[in-house]
Structure 1
Amino acid sequence: MNTKKRLPYILVSIAIFLLTTISCMIALRHEPKYSITPLNSQWDMSINDVHLTNVSLSHFHKYYDQKTKKHDHLIMKHRLPSGNIPNPVILFRSKYSTLKVYLDGEPIYDFGMDYYQKDKFLGKMIHVITLPTDYSGKELTFEMYMTEDNGYGNFEAPMFGSHPDITGILVQDNIIIIATGLFMFIFGLTFLCIGLIFISYVAEIKSLVLGSLFCINLSAWLLTYYNILSLFVYTELETEIEYFTMYLVVPYCFVILYYIGNFKGNRLYTGIMLVCCGVPFIQYALHYIFNIHMRLTLIVYQISGLVGFGVLLVYALMIIRKKIVVPENTRIQMTGLFTFAIGQLVHLVIYLLEQLHIPTYQPFNKFSISLACLMFAVCQLSTYLVYITASYAKKQENASLSHLAYADGLTNLPNRSKADKLMAELNEATDDYCILSIDLNGLKIVNDKYGHPSGDKYIKDFAKVLNNTFGEEEFCARIGGDEFIVIIRDAGNKDINTLIGRMNSALNVMNALYTEYKRSVSVGFAFKHEAPDGSSHNVYLLADQRMYENKRRMHNELGISPRL
């Protein structure tokens, strides 16, 4: 499939995503009614025995040149602005710490102390802290105990405002993350169900099923990485889910490429894949069995990611440049995987810059990682569309070939091959059935006197009468030049003579309308119970014998020499 043929599927996929994003933007758009104040500056802080004043949280590393460590005790104080905002709240994102909040010395919020005391993993959380209505000018205090080393390199400034405005702006600032996460989850789940239906008998669908699972995994990782999942489903395990799904990213990419590139015989690729796939399971074991938290082994993932994505890019380029031959339908999926790998490497670079306190532009960060995920999802969707279209075209082609093999070219009725196939099936039947042998009268005379086009019209006219008489319930076929067969499966509930009379009446009406030549048929029928062994062949022979007896009698009555 060339680029021009692939382009419509990619455009349709992009249009579906844009529709999802625009719908989310319209549904979740929010205009704040009251002012929202970032509480970034003028904080007084103490870290164990170190006291800091007038601290700007976004530049915390300039005031405190050490890294925070596990069990560090942090206290932060700030004077709230004056005002009278309804439903006042503070929005704060904690990182690997407990959080206890006081207002003028009175506790108003408590989180995570039980986790800290049991040395359980405590990750990042977004807290919406409700304030009393008489907050104006009071002293706000945050007290935290660190549960991990280097939890806070810099702080995100707490936001102060009305509850609807705070949550509305939080959603609006993360709209691309929400839209991407929801799109990938819905798409992944939908096409996973579709793929599982076909996976047992279509080998090529395996990479698409894995891709759908990967989309669901990326959706969970993206929403938890930015702590958006708790807006929909509150869980204190959000960061644990983030690391769990993040550590699966490299294995997913390797396994998908394994099926796309058909690397079963490539020992080098298989060896690298097995190593990279084994790393996260070791990290899970350390976390859940030995209580070595997943964040502590992040460096292992980063090294694995650099190696893994580097290898993926090399092999992906070889496939895209056709040095490794793959089916055309999977080339779009390969392009998506290639783009995602680049996006992940960019994201890793941005993460490392942030750890070095080098400023990055947050909207770009969100856009780049969302774009990487979306390109994979869009290419995955495009591959599905290509596959579905190709499968439909193949099905239509097979149906057409089947029709040609089993249909009579002149009447479009089933032919002798189809009739023979059904006759063989009838040998297994237990119910009584009836076979009608029908022969057109005078076809040779019509051909000789009026020409073969008239003879063909005679045959086609009778085929219509046959269909109208017996309908779709019964099997009607043309098995020779002027020979037809009808098989009635539920013969016990049908009056065969009435049906034959209806057929002859239809021919008489046609004769009255078109008087060029006379149309008539000879018919004989027999039931399964009339044949000694009940075989369909013997039933047909008996019906055919009776048809010729009727034809001979008809010709004798008309004084015509029968052509038998």
Structure 2
Amino acid sequence: MAYVRNQKNYMMIFPLILLFVFLAVIGGSTFNTKLQDRLLLLDRGWNMSYLGTTRSDVKLTDSNFGQSKKNQSVILSKSLPYIKLNSACVTFRTVLSSVDVYVAGKLVYTYGHDYERAGKMIPKHMNYVALPKHYAGSMLQIVVTPGVDDAFSGLSEVYFGSRCDMGYFQIQRHRLPLVVGSALAIFGLCLVLLMPVLFLYGEQDFLVMQYAFLAIVFGTYILCYNDVINYYLADEHLTTILEYVTLYLIAPVVMFFVRTDLQEKGVVDDIFVALGLVNIAFFMAAVLSHAMGIVCLDAFVTPYHFFVLPQSFFVLWAIIRNIITRTRRSKTVATVYGSSAINVLLAGTIIFVFCTIVDIMRFNYMKYLSGRGEVYSSISFITIGAMIFVTCLLCNYFFHCIDHINEASIRGKLEGMAYEDVLTGLSNRARCEHLMDKADQSGRPYAIISLDMDGLKATNDKYGHVYGDALLKGFADILRKSFPGAALIGRMGGDEFLILLTEEKLGMAPLYIKAMEHNMKEQSKIDEKLKYSASWGMCRSREKVGSAHQVYMEADSRMYKMKEEHHRAGGDHHE
């Protein structure tokens, strides 16, 4: 038992090791494409004007101008480098803001004003600004105008290089979230497509539905936050809305999932339910407020973070408490299946919740306490934590299925022992009566053949019980061979046997009986000590003699009439 448990633990650790290797390879520089030209980070030497104050020699990664105000523009200016490139451009990211870019006093790029005019939230956007032909040494001016209060508290890095290299660079920077987010979302969609098939075959496993929803929410949020979903969707406004919607969905989804997994009772379970419902209410309030134009979705981010943090610590406490409780219980109660798989899933949940706490605290530190601003924050911990969590979830479901199969196999073996005649391997009396009742309840025509094997007592008396048992086994084999289409071949006890034929095989009954008589003659030639013969009687349900038991009794009566005829004819030489 301990060996089975240890072997199972190793099997669950193996995919986690593979996952870490995969993340290390994908997140590293192994697959980086070599750039044609060197990208230049324009970080220092900027002039910045904001709220009537002008500062010089500003470093973008430490601009430290506080929370942005709606319609109050941040103006940046700097001379472009004296480097000639084909398809030269500058790129930077903006958050919920419109952008105007000037080179040598001429407007060369604009973004976001159409959303402002339409009264929509300006999406997060990666700006690629193509530079004019004679750009070298010219003054570059970037005007960023927030569309809402607290849109950002820091300015994005500005890169200079060729347009082609910029594209490769952005893909390489976001390769890990691209791969992880896409894998999670596609996995969730595959589970969604699988669910109708499971329901069709009666496997109504709601765990699959939960796993699908979790994977889709995690994957979509990771793709949206890192702007890589724009490789799939051309609508940036939809991408930004999806980012906030999936962010606010994570808390209720995880809360109800953990509650289902822990299966706690009492006060702890009530707290999980209450928090889950409050999270759903928060999600609905945010979505409805945005839809009604009261306030944009981004306004709920900070309250959401401070609301989720204490919940995260509660979830950690509940999971650790549950693991300790079950570990103590497992020392007193023998458990082979389930415990290790659940522990792996709970460990994955702990890792994800811890990673979420780290990224939330880092985001708010950069937004409110650091001079860099939240634009430099990332969800790298959540990305890795989500991948580990879903992998643990898969391991748990995989071993849950194995446990279910093992349980079904054991149940089948126990039922076989309860319904099988030990000597012949045929169905025993209990199963015969059970299937006769089912045939009666089906309302469809059937026939019962009652058989009595001749010569058992004579064989036992003359050659011993070993040959008597061999005679019974041989006769059982003859019945299997002679009645291939029978719904039931059983031994009622002693030398009495029963055959049940359903509607489809009723017309085959005479052929089956002839085959039985032929096989008995052939088998009797093999061993002179084992001579096979039998008396039989058949009754059809159409004869309206009553229930299945009464049909069997009528068949049995007809069998005894044949047996008497054998006696009168002297055919039963063994008796």
TM-score of Structure 1 vs Structure 2, range by shorter chain: 0.7 to 0.9
1:458 match:
471
Q: Does 1:318 align with 2:300?
A: no
Deviations along 1:218-237, one digit per CA (max 9) or x if unpaired, are 22222222222212223323
| C-alpha spacing 1:199/1:188, structure 2 compared with 1 (3 Å) | farther
- 8 Å contact kept, 2:454–2:572: no
Larger mean CA deviation between 84-93 and 171-180 belongs to 84-93
Contact map agreement 1:551 1:562 (CA 8 A) in 2: no
Aligned residue type for 2:411? N
**Once the 2 structures are TM-superposed, how far is the Cα of residue 201 of structure 1 from its aligned partner?**
9.8
For residues 90 and 438 of structure 1, the distance between their equivalents in structure 2, rounded to whole angstroms, comes to 93
Residue 239, structure 1, aligned to residue 240, structure 2 = yes
Deviations 1:493-531 (A, max 9, x none): 6343222222222233323333332222222223233x2
* Residue 66 to residue 368, structure 1, CA distance change in 2 (3 Å): closer
Counterpart check, 1:375 vs 2:373: no
Within 5 Å, give how 1:264-343 maps onto structure 2: 265-266=266-267, 267=270, 270-322=273-325, 328=339, 330-343=342-355
Q: Give the C-alpha shift of residue 310 in structure 1.
A: 2.2
Residue identity (%)? 23
Partner SS, residue 240 of structure 2: helix
For the 8 Å contact 2:89–2:161, the answer to whether it is kept is yes
Q: Is the 8 A contact 1:28 1:171 kept in 2?
A: no
Work out whether residues 10 and 378 of structure 1, in 8 Å CA contact, stay in contact via their aligned partners in 2. Answer: no
Contact 2:121 2:237 in 1 (8 A): no
CA pair 200-561 structure 1, distance change in 2 beyond 3 A: closer
Under a length normalisation based on structure 1, what TM-score does the superposition of the two structures give?
Answer: 0.85
Question: Please, which moves more after superposition, 140-149 or 479-488?
Answer: 140-149
Q: Which residue of structure 1 aligns with residue 334 of structure 2?
A: none
Equivalent position of 1:258 in the other structure: 259
Deviation at 1:97, TM superposition (A): 0.6
Give, as a single letter, the amino acid of the residue that structure 2 aligns with 1:319. Answer: N
Matches within 5 A, 1:313-462: 313-322=316-325, 328=339, 330-355=342-367, 356-357=369-370, 367-462=380-475
The correspondence of residues 82-101 of structure 1 with structure 2, limited to 5 A, is 89-101=89-101
Post-superposition CA distance 1:272-307 (Å, at most 9, x none): 554455333333333332521232232311221222
1:154 aligned partner:
154
Does structure 2 conserve the Cα–Cα contact (< 8 Å) formed by 1:263 and 1:270? no
Q: Which stretch of the first structure deviates more once superposed, 412-421 or 276-285?
A: 276-285
CA-based RMSD of the aligned residues comes to: 3.9
CA distance in 2, matches of 1:35, 1:513: 91
Residue 502 of structure 2 is aligned to residue 501 of structure 1: no
Measured against aligned partners, the alpha-carbon deviations of 1:94-153 in whole angstroms (never above 9, x if no partner) come to 112112445556655443212223442224222345567776666655343211234343
Report what 1:8 is aligned to. 10
Q: Which amino acid aligns with 1:122?
A: I
Matching residue within 485, 489, 493 for 1:476: 489
In structure 2, the CA distance between the partners of 1:199 and 1:562, relative to structure 1 (3 Å rule), is closer
Q: For 2:21 and 2:557, how far apart are their aligned partners in 1? A: 69
Q: Which amino acid aligns with 1:523?
A: W
Structure 2 CA distance for aligned equivalents of residues 536 and 415 of structure 1: 17
Q: Residue type matched to 1:37 in 2?
A: L
Q: Which position in structure 2 is the counterpart of 1:60?
A: 63
For the 8 Å contact 2:95–2:125, the answer to whether it is kept is yes
Show structure 1 runs of 5+ residues with no match.
Answer: none
Secondary structure in 1 matching 2:144? strand
Give the direction of change, closer, same or farther, for the CA distance of 1:200–1:314 in structure 2 (3 Å limit). Answer: farther
User: What one-letter code is carried by the residue in structure 1 that aligns with 2:168?
Assistant: G
1:56-135 to 2 correspondences below 5 Å? 56-61=59-64, 65-78=65-78, 80-81=80-81, 89-102=89-102, 109-129=109-129
* Paired AA for residue 436 in structure 2: M
- SS of the aligned residue for 1:542 comes to helix
Q: 1:527 aligns with which of 534, 537, 540?
A: 540
Structure 1 residues 78-87 or 415-424, which shifts more? Answer: 78-87
1: distance between equivalents of 2:322 and 2:192? 25
Query: Is the 2:486–2:505 contact (alpha carbons within 8 Å) kept by the matching residues of 1?
Result: no
Q: SS in structure 2 opposite 1:399?
A: helix
Task: Report the Cα distance in structure 2 between the residues aligned to 1:363 and 1:52, rounded to whole angstroms.
Answer: 21
* Superposition TM-score, scaled by structure 2 size: 0.83
Task: Find the residue that maps to 1:144 and give its secondary structure.
Answer: strand
In structure 2, runs of 5+ residues without a counterpart are 331-337
| Segment of structure 1 superposing worse, 471-480 or 269-278 | 269-278
CA contact (8 A) 2:73 2:145 kept: yes
Q: Look up the equivalent residue of 1:309 and give its one-letter code.
A: S
Q: Shift of residue 337 of structure 1? A: 2.4
Deviates more, 1:429-438 or 1:382-391: 429-438
Answer yes or no: is the 8 Å Cα contact 2:92–2:126 preserved in 1.
Answer: yes
Compared with structure 1, are the counterparts of its residues 547 and 102 closer, same or farther at alpha carbon in structure 2 (3 Å cutoff)?
farther
Comparing 330-339 with 375-384, greater Cα deviation is found at 330-339
2-structure distance, mates of 1:542, 1:237: 76
1:550 aligns with one of 532, 546, 562? 562
CA distance in 2 between partners of 1:23 and 1:67 (Å): 38
The verdict on how the C-alpha distance between 1:103 and 1:258 changes in structure 2, with shifts beyond 3 A counting, is: same
Q: Could you tell me how far 1:193 is from its partner in structure 2? A: 6.5
**CA–CA separation in structure 1 for the residues paired with 2:373 and 2:466:** 82
Paired residue type of 2:529: E
How many residues were matched structurally?
A: 558
SS at match of 1:321: helix
The answer (yes or no) to whether the contact 2:155–2:375 under 8 Å persists in 1 is no
> Contact between 1:437 and 1:543, CA under 8 Å: does it hold in 2?
yes
Could you tell me how far 1:396 is from its partner in structure 2?
1.0
Q: Which amino acid aligns with 1:173?
A: R
Deviates more, 1:449-458 or 1:49-58: 49-58
